[in-house]
Chains A and B, each alone.
Chain A
């Protein structure tokens, strides 16, 4: 927490004629939500530590349109997408990394049909690559031997088939990774996808996030690792709902890595 964060924008890069190696797509939640901002900062600390030449769009970033599309508003989605693509292509962006699996999915899979072709990575994939390339070193630190369970984000796991990158990163912490019964392909949703984040749940006998948190807490893990700001919020609320606040914490993988490295 010592050094100030270095967060240059694409506009600043463009002014100097330099090209960053990757664009960090912060996302609405990562920009505005108190809890998610901590994840954003943790990821930036990792990027700074690894000397990654990255940039953000800053004020030029706009919602990818994911929630509008899932909620059926295709006009609004395409308005957002086409405007973002104009900005991204204007800067000649080639690579994007995002700490939100929903932004990641939309940028990676849904922008190409509208003229936006980029190499897009989820931040757990990016961190995993940094570790493999030796650009950052991760040691267990305070997490050594701790029980950690990982909650698969649907939009990274089932949606895009990556179950391993977040787990490979977690293994570097020398922690005891315990799996929930419903994990990987069988992972249970946190309840926020498909625009549920912006509405009350339909009538039922339980909240989805409580169902999932019970399962996570049931593993005996003291840390629930997440890879999505939506999941993070849902599970954090869930931990309160099941009365485990103070005993179990929900942390993004970027936060765990940053903390282990005392960044």
Chain B
């Protein structure tokens, strides 16, 4: 085995190991959420995943961003076929091992080049939209320094990777035409041949070109491995979680709120004294916090809400259609999701350091204010707009439940509504004897 194969193998193994470790950590964090069985209507779920995640159906609701995103997405998915060849070449010291495919190989490489160019252009336009045109949803309150940097890094990374890929092909193509060493005629280079012309590669000597080709090759593959390991630290993790997150979507009507069976048992025993009150929930193991009515911390949300949090792409389509946000209120559904994720990361770090969960005196309310929660109209414009079927309303109503049922802290005037429902069975202060008055009027 050559020295470069050994270096490649080492880099590859470290990258895969570190990535697997971090994915395992995210999986553990998601499973800190409450259990919820989601395995009904499987056929519908596969169809939905195919349409929404694979088919990007909700992305194109905004046609410009949607189309550009599909260019990057297609580039990302298809060019990864080329990565397979690069890995084999890296491990065995071969060069363009799939070139035996002949004309079809040419077609593949040619397509990759076109896709790489489209990806490059789309990323450049994305950067301009974000940082030059400063489209509003990328500059809202929750888009602090890190989320903005993250987005910039992802786009820059992709541009660099595509540049390296095209430069590599440009040098390779020139070397093929010169008939140098093992650079056999293989592939077709609609983009990089033009690039080679622009850069005047034809006038370079073979050793310089080999240098450019090798450097680009290494930069490209090491870049991909580095990018892979960047995902778990970034909103870019959505490229993986989008698929399961859509599969596990809420299929019930959007405005149907989740049931709370424990409360049903309590209410039934209140209405019918012959029924015993339900047993208190078992003391949780491993020092985990006790079960709450509603959501105080990430442990009280379902694992699906926590997967939502890690899937968020921070695109802000939810916030841009939120009636509360549109009219200047503090609420931003994107912030609710980002706060949930950041809190979950914080909890995960405690568990990493201490080996188990120990109360750190913080919870979701350390990040999300009551003012934000009470501004929601539960209109579900956010869940409709989300390209990966995230449900911020579930978290908002869960936290409201905690405020009301465990802290007796509803938004002030809501107490009057509760009282009149309790006393009159009506949301306004009229007794049942007035229910039919409208007939007589």
Chain A 175-212 near chain B by CB (<8 Å), digits 1 or 0: 00000000001111101111111111111111110011
Whether A79 lies near B418 (C-beta < 8 A) is no
A161 to B383 CA separation, bound complex (whole angstroms): 13
Is B201 on the interface with A (CB-CB < 8 A)?
no
Query: How far is B427's CA from A65's CA once the two chains are assembled, in angstroms?
Result: 8
Interface assignment of B263: CB less than 8 Å from any CB of chain A: yes
Q: How far is B399's CA from A74's CA once the two chains are assembled, in angstroms? A: 12
Contact with B323, one of A72, A191, A205 (Cβ below 8 angstroms): A191
Q: Which residues from 63 to 83 on chain A have a C-beta closer than 8 Å to any C-beta of chain B?
A: 63, 65, 67-76, 78-80, 82-83
Q: How far is the CB of A224 from chain B (nearest CB, A)?
A: 17
| A206 with B434, Cβ < 8 A, contacts A71-B400, A195-B417 known | no
Partner of B377, one of A110, A154, A205: A154
Select from chain B the residue with minimum beta-carbon distance to A210. B327
A40 to B435, CA, bound (A): 12
Is B380 at the interface (CB under 8 A from chain A)? Answer: yes
Determine if A241 is an interface residue (Cβ-Cβ < 8 Å). no
CB <8 Å contact, A199 and B270: no
Are B430 and A32 closer than 8 Å at their CB atoms?
yes
- Interface members, chain B 247-298 (any A CB < 8 Å): 252-257, 259-260, 263-264, 266-268, 270-271, 293-294
Q: A28-B428, A105-B253 are in contact. Are A198 and B267 (CB under 8 A)?
A: no
Q: A72 touching B417 by the CB < 8 A rule? A: no
Q: Are B380 and A154 in contact (CB under 8 A)?
A: yes
CB pairs A–B below 8 angstroms (30 shown)? A68-B417, A71-B400, A72-B397, A72-B401, A72-B405, A72-B410, A73-B410, A73-B418, A74-B294, A75-B263, A75-B267, A78-B260, A79-B270, A79-B422, A113-B259, A114-B264, A154-B379, A161-B253, A188-B326, A188-B381, A191-B327, A196-B377, A199-B413, A199-B414, A201-B327, A202-B371, A203-B328, A204-B324, A205-B328, A208-B323
Count of CB-CB pairs between chains A and B under 8 Å: 219
Q: How far is the CA of A159 from the CA of B263 in the complex (A)?
A: 24
How long is the Cα–Cα vector from A29 to B417 in the complex, in angstroms?
13
Asked if residues B294 and A72 are in contact (CB atoms below 8 Å), the reply is: yes
- B414 touching A71, Cβ below 8 Å: yes
Taking the closest CB of chain A, its distance from the CB of B309, in whole angstroms, is 21
Query: Please, which residues of chain A bring their CB within 8 A of the CB of B435?
Result: 26, 31-32, 58-59, 61
* A7 contact set on B, CB distance < 8 A: 436, 439
B379 and A75 contact, CB distance less than 8 A: no
Q: How far is the CB of A261 from chain B (nearest CB, A)?
A: 20
Q: CB < 8 Å: which of B270, B293, B380 contacts A74?
A: B293
Instruction: Report A-chain residues with C-beta under 8 Å of the C-beta of B421.
Output: 63, 65, 67-68, 76, 80
Total interface residues on B, CB under 8 Å, equals 68
User: Complex: how many Å from CA A185 to CA B439?
Assistant: 36
Check if B263 sits within 8 Å of A59, measured CB to CB: no
List of B residues within 8 angstroms of A113 by Cβ: 259
Kindly provide the distance from the CB of A233 to the nearest chain B CB, expressed in whole angstroms.
Answer: 12
Q: Are B323 and A189 in contact (CB under 8 A)?
A: yes
- CB contacts under 8 Å to A, within B378-423, are 378-381, 383-384, 397, 400-405, 410-414, 416-418, 421-422
Nearest-neighbour CB distance to chain B for A55, whole angstroms, equals 12
Q: A62-B425, A63-B425 known; A83 and B271 CB under 8 Å?
A: yes
A147 interface contact, C-beta 8 A:
no
The answer to whether B205 has its CB under 8 Å from any CB of chain A is: no
**B263 A109 Cβ-Cβ under 8 A:** no
In the assembled complex, the CB of A31 is this many whole angstroms from the nearest CB of chain B, namely: 5
Q: How far is the CA of A194 from the CA of B293 in the complex (A)?
A: 19
Collect the chain B residues with CB atoms within 8 Å of residue A28's CB. 426-428, 430
Cα A154 to Cα B383 with chains together (Å): 12
* Among all A-B residue pairs, the 8 with the closest Cβ atoms: A159-B255, A205-B328, A72-B400, A194-B378, A62-B425, A72-B404, A204-B328, A189-B379
